[in-house]
Amino acid sequence: MKRILVVTDGSEGATRAIGFAADLAGRLNCELRVLNVIGGYELPGGVMRKMLDEQSAWFDDLLATNSAAILRRAQNQVSELGLKGTILESRRGDPASTTIGYAQEKQVDIIVVGKRGNGLYQTLMLGSISQKLVTLAPMAVLVVP
């Protein structure tokens, strides 16, 4: 195994997934990538298109700032665990398909994801993003409870 990808939305489940992935990367001496996908905030399809350009730009800046904060917390967590050289990245799009595309582009061996994230449907046994990744990803997906 050469590359591990862990996906985070800043949730408790994602924090556990980061810890697991960092530990695994340290044990296997492989690259760790942390990805936050901006999107999937459960907004109805046309909401962003209906916003005025000024409002849309403000909201876009807010999402980018939130993503940077999530990745900063992930970096701090990984550093506290003693892992160096972690690659942090933010992408935009549908969380599941963007994650899979990123994983293929970076040739990761495994995707690590929390069981549930910050979506509207937290009461489901397995979150919608983790379920999609398990179902659609062409590489191994490890779901951390």
pLDDT tens, position by position, 58-106:
777 888 899 999 999 999 999 999 999 999 999 998 899 999 999 999 9
Asked, for residue 129, whether it belongs to a domain, the answer is no
Task: Check if the beta carbon of residue 17 is closer than 8 Å to that of residue 24.
Answer: no
The larger pLDDT score, comparing residue 64 to residue 24, is at 24
What's the Cα-to-Cα distance from 74 to each of 19, 49, 78, 85, 121, rounded to whole Å? 9, 31, 6, 13, 23
Asked, for residue 100, whether it belongs to a domain, the answer is yes
Query: Structural domain tally of the chain?
Result: 1
pLDDT tens, position by position, 4-18:
999 999 999 999 999
pTM score, whole prediction: 0.85
Asked, for residue 8, whether it belongs to a domain, the answer is no
Identify the domain containing residue 86 by its residue range: 28-121+140-145
